Copies of this chain bind each other. A is one copy, B any other.
Amino acid sequence: MADSSTQVRPGGRSAKVRAAVHHAVAELLAEEEAETLTLPAVAARAGVHPTTLYRRWGSTAQLLNDVATSRFTDDLVVPDSGSLAGDLQRWLADVATDVADPDTLALMRATIGSGPAGGCACVEDRHRQLGAIIRREQDRGGTALDVETAADFLLGPLYYRAIFTPEPASADWARTLVSTYLATLRTP
């Protein structure tokens, strides 16, 4: 009975405001620099009163965390091609395509800059997806992989290129990354 006095009300209007605000954040990050991303600016773009943003989110950091979490959660379908290599290649290619979008990158950068937990909000679901792929391979009777190590070798180079280097990471490059990673497993 933890805090039963205040009941949430995610009805039509709140959901509509939330969607408009999320859309406004993505728009503003896509077109201008992250400097001008203030709560009044987002409110004006979303057609919502600034007070609403101050009350619901409080700061741009929490708003960005919310936007990034919902943006990078359940946005990709975990493939089931029948083999580990196929699943990983399909999935990482999708991730690479997603990360190659400049608007997506802008959201990631802003979220990372908003606080220590910003990065986690961007890749938390990716780790869940990778875990699902690995678990499925294990159920097939295949090799048991460590999720963290796989993330180091697959997501590591991909996100590193996206954030820290100007050169893009294509879907083909992601597939090559999976091949070389699986090759290292067969030859310890």
Contact = CB atoms under 8 A, between A and B. Distances in A.
A136 interface: no
A152 B153 CA distance: 9
A123 B164 contact: yes
Contacts of A31: none
A164 B119 contact: yes
A106 B180 CA distance: 33
Interface string A93-112: 00000000000011001111
A163 B34 CA distance: 19
Interface in A134-177: 148, 151-153, 155-161, 163-167, 177
A47 B114 CA distance: 26
Given A157-B153, A165-B120, A34 B115 contact: yes
A161 B163 CA distance: 13
Contacts of A164: 119-120, 122-123, 155, 159
A113 interface: yes
Nearest to A162: B119
A112 B115 contact: no
Given A159-B160, A164-B159, A118 B109 contact: yes
Contacts of A115: 33-34, 109
A120 B160 contact: no
Contact of A114 (B105, B113, B116, B160): B113
6 closest residue pairs by CB, A with B:
A113-B113, A156-B157, A152-B157, A156-B160, A119-B164, A156-B156
A183 B22 CA distance: 46
